[in-house]
Amino acid sequence: MNIGVLTGGGDCPGLNAVIRAVVRKAEKGGDRVLGFRDAWKGFLGNDYVQLTTDNVRGLLPRGGTILGTTRGSPYDVGDGIERTRRQFANLNLGALVVIGGNGSLTVGSRLYAEAGLPIVGVPKTIDNDIVGTDVSFGFQTAVQVATDAIDRLHTTAESHDRVMVVEVMGRDAGWIALMAGTAGGATVILVPERPFDLGRVCEHIERRHARGRFASIVVVAEGARPLPGTPPDMDYAKDQFGRDRLGGISAAIAPLIEERTGYDVRVVQIGHIQRGGTPTAYDRVLATRFGLAAVDAVAARDFGKMVVLRGATIERVPMALTQGNTRTIDLSLYDEVESVFFG
């Protein structure tokens, strides 16, 4: 059988490890793997490469995706669905493995449900916001990178008696902020799920100073928002898909904290460093298990499903679970971290 594979959405450490596992397992079963370049763009444009054990050698530790990635889909193109169907037929594709986040998995589930196409999903995102899986690969690497940065920032903050406002990724869910902030001993953590009051943020920092601790780390997820009607007023530009072009909440709150508290404040935006580079061992293993399980799903002709981690087990659940859903943080953990560690 010919099995297609593509990587869609933002890149993420571990994508190449999934590709490698798909190729290795498919070849063992006598199947041929075609890798489409730049996601659906390459699929519709007939831009692909045959992937073999030879050309996926050395991929396990490599960040990014050798296939390239973009954010569009067949639904953005006039006759996209018909062209997708034709491409399955022309290339004699028995299945397509879509490795992507909420956007790509939603597209995959619609193509399965609306066009009957044999698609299997693999959930990826550093944001960890995909419903159905306990963890997506790439997340653990991003948390480690952010935690390493926070550890480093502690020492310089302490040397200068400064407040460091550290911005991490997390558009709709504050998983990276909550986990890296907890691991790094942050004074305050701000997440999209809990609109913040800057007055309270300043109180936490001031309480800490009153105890003789003159350096503080404030971790803020890029998607965090103030309570309605309170500062700062964030007005984001839109990207080509109409989404807020996030980034900058740290720079917006830092001068306000400085003004209210009188403390010296600096801003660090970790940005795409969280998404680049080699995956941790945990993510390499999870990505490998997902890749192997995706080929099992294809062999079982269990289409319209994505492979997920539940507890310690890899399972399959409908990709449709992702449609319009976001897996947000565990608020009880956030509340406990707030009540015990903030300030």
Which residues would be at the binding site for ligand F6P (CB under 6 A)? 10, 101, 125-127, 169-171, 222, 246, 275
Closer CB to ligand F6P, residue 31 or residue 167? Answer: 167
What's the min distance (Å) between Cβ of 190 and ligand F6P? 15
Closer CB to ligand F6P, residue 38 or residue 127? Answer: 127
What's the min distance (Å) between Cβ of 116 and ligand F6P? 29
Match 């300043």 to its residue by tokens: 202
What's the min distance (Å) between Cβ of 129 and ligand F6P? 8
Match 């992937």 to its residue by tokens: 51
Closer CB to ligand F6P, residue 117 or residue 173? Answer: 173
127 belongs to the catalytic site:
yes
What's the min distance (Å) between Cβ of 119 and ligand F6P? 20
Closer CB to ligand F6P, residue 170 or residue 181? Answer: 170
Q: How far is CA 73 from CA 9, 28, 113, 323, in A?
A: 10, 31, 16, 15
Other C-beta atoms lying within 10 Å of the C-beta of residue 190: 29
Question: Do the strands 162-168 and 216-221 form a parallel or antiparallel pair, or are they unpaired?
Answer: parallel
Q: Among residues 11, 38, 127, 129, which one is catalytic?
A: 127
Which residue lies nearest ligand F6P, judged by its C-beta?
Answer: 169
DSSP E strand boundaries for 200-263? 216-221
- What is the end-to-end Cα distance of the chain in Å, rounded? 59
DSSP run (H or E) holding 310: strand 305-310
Q: Which residues are known catalytic residues? A: 127
